[in-house]
């Protein structure tokens, strides 16, 4: 394994009914909380009434900030930051899926950030212009969709709605939540499509470190291989089960914690952490309003087929054997695509409206944001512009 540092200070409260502890979880961090969630929260029933009541029991007043949309935007963060400042809040509570939690992180940092919040986001990997935040208000997260693990990592993804650039801020110094409450009861009413997209997203978080492990350690990272494949299999095998039995609280809890483990840092200790499939998927979601997890489904398949058409990357071949008992990446990709379609998730970017004429726009988008100063997309091996174009074409 490579040398590494690991740090994760997030306190997890896991289990059915644990959302009732929101008041005690938030109490150490102040008396006034900004509750960041979606534009419409009717599908949560009385959840916010219960949360406000539990906060009030601990002397905390909550300010509702319902502005988040799928693939959250800078304009939404600006509205929330203005509200948080005007209401003099001293903590932020994110309630929802990755979009709501990521927005909550940008807002928690943005309330204290002295510059245009665009400066904190890594909107370019080729120019060193990002100024990460140095501080953020304390955060409590209540995830309602197993997918992104934003509840246990220091990353937030956001789109600049002026330029359609979508990228992230990663800052361990201040963007870890203080407490996250993983209550599987809050996921029981998730629609099948959102359940499946979240699961595919979580699968991709374990697939990428498996695909892009440092080749120098290839063959000597059995621990991480097993951890990564174990998480992938847990999500892969249980997604059809939870879709068939959506009220099974044990299955819902299993999916929720597996999604958290997929991107809380454990799986990348000692191996490389490139995310080129995410970088390419971000452009599809920002330009075509596609669901994030669905774009990752398309990207995973396209990357597998890309390496089937050239010298086969050993990590991809090992994945094909481990997951699909196939020696040929094409066979594995076909089996994976059939599985994805059975869950109800799109497997081709044409399903989002992408056409042949749009490929150059997508390529230019990923080049502008994600290509480094060397003119390559970080990956193992690094990907040139023409290869990115080939991958998008394979995803059509």
- The domains of the chain, with CATH numbers, are 11-186 (3.40.50.1970), 190-395 (1.20.1090.10)
Residue 11: strand pairing partners: 179
Q: What is the pLDDT of residue 271?
A: 85
pLDDT of residue 311: 62
**Number of CB atoms found within 10 A of residue 222's CB:** 8
Sign of the dihedral through C-alpha 85, 88, 90, 95: negative
* Placement of tokens 């892969």 in the chain: 236
Whether the bond between 362 and the residue before it is cis, its omega within 30 degrees of 0, is no
Q: How confident is the model at residue 214 (pLDDT cuts 50, 70, 90)?
A: confident
For 222-233, how does the pLDDT look when each residue is reduced to its tens digit (9 = 90+)? Answer: 888 999 999 999
Reply yes or no on whether the pLDDT at 219 is more than 60.
no
Strands 139-143 and 91-96: parallel
State mean pLDDT over 211-225: 72
Would you tell me how many other CB atoms lie within 10 Å of the CB of residue 6? 9
Q: 192, exposed or middle or buried, with CB in 10 Å at 0-12, 13-18, 19+?
A: middle
pLDDT, tens digit, 9 for 90 and up, residues 74-95? 999 999 999 999 999 999 999 9
pLDDT digit string (tens) for 153-208?
A: 999 999 999 999 999 999 999 999 999 999 999 999 999 999 999 999 999 999 99
The upper half-sphere exposure of residue 250, i.e. CA atoms within 13 Å in the direction of its Cβ, equals 1
pLDDT at 330 over 90: yes
Which residues are within 8 A (CB) of 238 and not within 5 positions of it... i.e. 6 or more apart? 251, 254, 255, 258
Nearest Cα to Cα of residue 345 among 354, 332, 336, 355: 336
């Amino acid at each position: 394994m490579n040398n590494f540092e690991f740090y994760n200070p997030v306190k997890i409260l896991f289990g059915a009914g644990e959302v009732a502890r929101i008041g005690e979880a938030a109490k150490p961090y102040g008396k006034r909380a900004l509750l960041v969630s979606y534009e419409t929260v009717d599908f949560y029933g009385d959840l916010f009434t219960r949360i406000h009541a539990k906060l009030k029991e601990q002397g905390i007043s909550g300010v509702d900030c319902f502005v988040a949309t799928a693939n959250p935007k800078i304009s939404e963060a600006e509205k929330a930051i203005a509200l948080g400042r005007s209401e003099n809040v001293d903590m932020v509570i994110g309630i929802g899926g990755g979009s709501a939690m990521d927005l909550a992180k940008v807002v928690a940092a943005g309330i204290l950030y002295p510059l245009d919040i665009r400066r904190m986001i890594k909107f370019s990997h080729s120019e060193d212009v990002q100024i990460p935040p140095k501080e953020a208000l304390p955060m409590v997260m209540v995830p309602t969709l197993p997918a992104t693990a934003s509840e246990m990592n220091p990353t937030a993804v956001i789109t600049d709605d002026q330029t359609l650039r979508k990228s992230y801020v990663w800052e361990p110094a201040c963007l870890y939540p203080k407490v996250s409450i993983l209550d599987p009861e809050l996921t029981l009413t998730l629609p099948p499509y959102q359940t499946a997209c979240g699961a595919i997203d979580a699968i991709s978080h374990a697939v990428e470190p498996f695909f892009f492990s440092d080749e120098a350690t290839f063959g000597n990272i059995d621990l991480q291989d097993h951890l990564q494949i174990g998480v992938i299999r847990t999500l892969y095998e249980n997604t059809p089960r939870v879709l068939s039995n959506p009220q099974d609280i044990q299955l819902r809890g299993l999916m929720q914690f597996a999604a958290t483990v997929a991107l809380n840092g454990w799986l990348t200790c000692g191996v490389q952490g490139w995310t080129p499939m995410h970088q390419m998927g971000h452009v599809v979601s920002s330009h075509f309003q596609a669901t994030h997890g669905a774009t990752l489904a398309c990207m995973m398949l396209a990357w597998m087929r890309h390496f089937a058409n050239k010298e086969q990357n050993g990590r991809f071949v090992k994945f094909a054997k481990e997951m699909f008992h196939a020696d040929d990446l094409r066979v594995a990709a076909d089996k994976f695509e059939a599985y994805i379609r059975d869950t109800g998730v799109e497997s081709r970017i044409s399903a989002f409206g992408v056409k042949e004429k749009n490929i150059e726009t997508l390529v230019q988008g990923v080049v502008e944001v994600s290509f480094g100063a060397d003119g390559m997309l970080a990956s193992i091996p690094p990907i040139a512009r023409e290869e990115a174009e080939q991958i998008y074409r394979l995803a059509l």
